[in-house]
Structure 1
Amino acid sequence: MLGQASIPFVGLVDTVAIGRTGNAAALAGVALGATVTSLIFWTFGFLRMGITGMTAQADGAGKSGEVEALLVRGLVVGGAIGVALLVLLWPLRELAFALFAGGAETTAGARAYVTMRFFGAPAALAVFAVTGWLFGLGRTRAALVLQLVMNAANAAFDVAFVFGFGMGAAGVGLGTALAEWVALSTGLAIVTQIAGAGPLALARKAGSGVLWARSAIAHLFAVNLDLMVRTIALLLLFAWLANAGARIGAVALAAQHVLMQFVNVAAFVLDAFAFTAEARVGAAVGAKSRPRFLRAVRLTSEFSLASAVLLSLASWAAGDLTIALITTDPEVRTAAKHFLPYAALVPLIGLPSWMLDGIFIGATRGKALRNAAIAATTLYIVVDLLLRPLGAQGVWLALWAAYAFRAAGLALQLPALVSGLSAEPSVEGAAKGG
């Protein structure tokens, strides 16, 4: 939970750094730029999710060689995709801003932010693989250290570039990009300590025949292609959400971005249980044990529900003070405070979808995740269009509906997942303490 709670602080620090300047247009620019960057970077979020599930399953089945090979594959694929994104910066950026609404000043800030963020693309995507591998092994303490280092670096760079050099939105983007390179260096040191050797040594140990075996690569891309489609669908959903705020105006978009920091903190904290479910469910599926699977689901869901209640109450109680700390613009503060109750209820509404995501990712049921995400995004857009006359209130109600659609789509497929597991734990699973 501590590790997950620290993840959204990268975005929160970015928001506070620019929000304390009192410039609503600059804050809206960072909001729009962060949406564009997330849309592009997290298209490849399968490097985190797919590696987690496959690592957990390989570990649950006692295949230590495959566990090491998955780390190397993830780093190579992530780094290569990141380099490709950096090369394609100009066309990707121009296409994104041709699709997103926003005033001239907002778009200018967003463009500067995106340009700088892309210099961290290779590191960001490689860190996805490192984080997924750590979660798959249940090494949450190591993941916490990695994230805390990135947060500290990001905060220091943001303060230096925004307040020291007056770089505005571009400084926020550059600070985050540099922090991602610091995080990658830290991550490589951590996995070297855990594995007993660095990625290059692990690659030599496995040999190219094992590392790039056709069956292993086919499985990697079969799982990850579905996760990629699923991620794109969900990113389009949140891009549509950001665009909905931009249509209403810079103040509305800035206020929405401030409140989304509450949502992000809650989502990442509760994802701690979902990620635990990924590792435990993956190990249970690897051992083909229904009892281990059901126990993992029950325990993580119970703790997650209790935490969701506490997070909603905390958001409600400390919301006004937090909004005042994030931004100094009076109009943005007023708008954010008005819609705070909608953000405060998201932990309870979003909880089922986040937990079911973790369960299906751990089981590497990519098709189920893909289909649920596509259906949820499609239905969300329909609801958003129907609720447009309600303005900003309609935007938040449509977001609530999106979480409900995601949960329903996965819940319908849960019985089939359970029925595919053995009612008795395997001998190997029992030996691992299932």
Structure 2
Amino acid sequence: MNKKPGEKKALNRRIWALAWPLLLSNITAPLLGLVDTAVVGHLDSPVYLAAVALGANFFMFLYFSFNFLRMGTTGFTAQARGAGEATLVVVLRALLLSTVLGGLLILLQPALREAGLWLLGGSAEVQALARDYIAIRVLGAPAALGNFALIGFAIGLHRTSVPLKMTVLMHASNALLDFLLVQVWHFNVRGVATASALAEYLGLAGGLFWLRREIFGDAWRALPAGALRQLAPMARLLAVNRDIFLRSLALLSVFFFFTAQGARLGDTVLAANAVLITFLLLLSNTLDGFANAAEALVGDATGRHDRRALDAAVRATGRWTLMVALLALAGFALGGAPLIRLLTDLPAVRDTATTYLPWMLLLPLTASAGFWLDGVFVGATLAPQMRNTMILATLLFFPVWWLTRDWGNHGLWLAMNVWMASRGVLMALVWRRVRG
């Protein structure tokens, strides 16, 4: 049965209310790296900037691997909310898991650090400074992973303003601490790492404060006896997180390989690809807001076993995704060249990036469905299907690159677009089979 026009408008307003704080949060997320870069970029040697860049890349890939804590918590929280069950137990399990994993990262830091720096490279002086950076910043790992759990919990509760406030708090405190520790007290790279770690704990404290009604007080007293001792729900959480973790590893393998192959094509191509990846980041940060809205709405409908609401949520978030994809296509077509000029003033890099710009025009068409369906699958906690479709798409990426390697960077971008498109197609086929 079709929804009435009034119901459609109400659903669209609900989607936008969920999405806009997350859109704003995603837009401000890169500011953390910009502040760190700006602070060390004014020190008396470029090795400090290089070390922070190396360390920041290490943590970007490390923490991205644990993003399953956010996704898994969102799906289970939204389903519990829809079913009228206790949501507190979901976030407590996630916070327990994030604390354990964060502690393990601290213990395993020396081995992880050496492996990461071996892959990332850099001079001996830069690597020595990067070691200091990593050894200090990793102390914030329990808070960083705990923030994933709290953000997922907030999205599942449809309280998407909380992630925005947590992000603003972390960015503001990091900027202030950066200034004090680096510019005033001259701790250079160690100061930047300390500021980042402390900002994670301040974000965690803020998240607990803004979610205090859902975590403390009456919510704690209403917690079912023995809920945390039940093994089956924790086992399910671990299974979902395991599958999303494997999916993230497959995704990271493609981006690692893409970067490595670009480097083999020369410094200019590598730099041009780094500029062009900005287009993908802009697209993903915009679409993630609506994907997160899909997570919340699909999870809620799944928990209520409301097929009609589920189908309506999928269709409505799909329409928003299509609209954003078309706007991104127009934006890339009209503003692609000016954006390249804004991002770099090196003539060779500009010319090379402009040569490969047409591949960016395909990205809104090839990548958007995958981002949207990620949200649908997270809300429905279809983690094995997310894992399997990502692995299949990744296995397709490498033969496409191999067959087109004589095309150089054109073949690399073709493989990237095929990978994105195949992920969306595979997930759509799986969803159609799951929904019947």
**TM > 0.5 between the two?**
yes
Name the SS for the 1:413 alignment partner: helix
Deviations 1:189-243 (A, max 9, x none): 1111x41627xx9667637721231122122122222222222222222222232
Among candidates 239, 242, 245, match of residue 222 of structure 1: 239
TM-score, normalisation: structure 2: 0.81
Q: CA deviation at 1:50?
A: 0.7
Tell me, in whole angstroms, the C-alpha distance in 1 between the residues paired with 2:255 and 2:151: 23
Residues 271-350 of structure 1: pairs in structure 2 closer than 5 A: 271-327=288-344, 331-350=348-367
Q: Structure 1 regions of 5+ residues with no counterpart?
A: 420-434
Aligned to 1:423: none
Among candidates 26, 30, 40, match of residue 11 of structure 1: 30
Deviations 1:340-399 (A, max 9, x none): 443354233211111111111111111111111111122212323333333333332221
Residue 240 of structure 1 aligns with an amino acid whose one-letter code is F
Tell me, in whole angstroms, the C-alpha distance in 1 between the residues paired with 2:389 and 2:55: 27
Name the SS for the 1:206 alignment partner: coil
Aligned to 1:428: none
Residues 29-428 of structure 1: pairs in structure 2 closer than 5 A: 33-63=55-85, 65=86, 67-98=87-118, 100=119, 102=121, 104=123, 108=127, 114-115=134-135, 117-156=137-176, 175-192=195-212, 194-195=213-214, 197=216, 206=223, 209-327=226-344, 331-419=348-436
Q: CA deviation at 1:74?
A: 1.2
Closer, same or farther: CA 241–86 of 1 in aligned 2, 3 Å: farther
TM-score, normalisation: structure 1: 0.82
Deviates more, 1:22-31 or 1:183-192: 22-31
Q: CA deviation at 1:54?
A: 0.5
Tell me, in whole angstroms, the C-alpha distance in 2 between the residues paired with 1:13 and 1:332: 25
Deviates more, 1:248-257 or 1:158-167: 158-167
Aligned to 2:9: none
Tell me, in whole angstroms, the C-alpha distance in 2 between the residues paired with 1:327 and 1:162: 27
Tell me, in whole angstroms, the C-alpha distance in 2 between the residues paired with 1:335 and 1:155: 34
* Structural RMSD (CA): 3.5
Q: Does the CA-based 8 Å contact 2:83-2:300 persist in structure 1? A: yes
Deviates more, 1:290-299 or 1:372-381: 372-381
Q: Does the CA-based 8 Å contact 2:321-2:369 persist in structure 1? A: no
Tell me, in whole angstroms, the C-alpha distance in 2 between the residues paired with 1:253 and 1:322: 17
Deviations 1:148-170 (A, max 9, x none): 32333445556777888898887
Closer, same or farther: CA 183–251 of 1 in aligned 2, 3 Å: farther
| Percent of residue pairs bearing the same amino acid type | 36
Residue 214 of structure 2 aligns with an amino acid whose one-letter code is A
Closer, same or farther: CA 124–342 of 1 in aligned 2, 3 Å: farther
Residue 48 of structure 1 aligns with an amino acid whose one-letter code is R
Tell me, in whole angstroms, the C-alpha distance in 1 between the residues paired with 2:78 and 2:187: 43
Deviations 1:114-166 (A, max 9, x none): 55543332221111000100111111122222223233344555677788889
Q: Structure 2 regions of 5+ residues with no counterpart?
A: 1-19
Tell me, in whole angstroms, the C-alpha distance in 2 between the residues paired with 1:45 and 1:176: 18
Tell me, in whole angstroms, the C-alpha distance in 2 between the residues paired with 1:317 and 1:7: 23
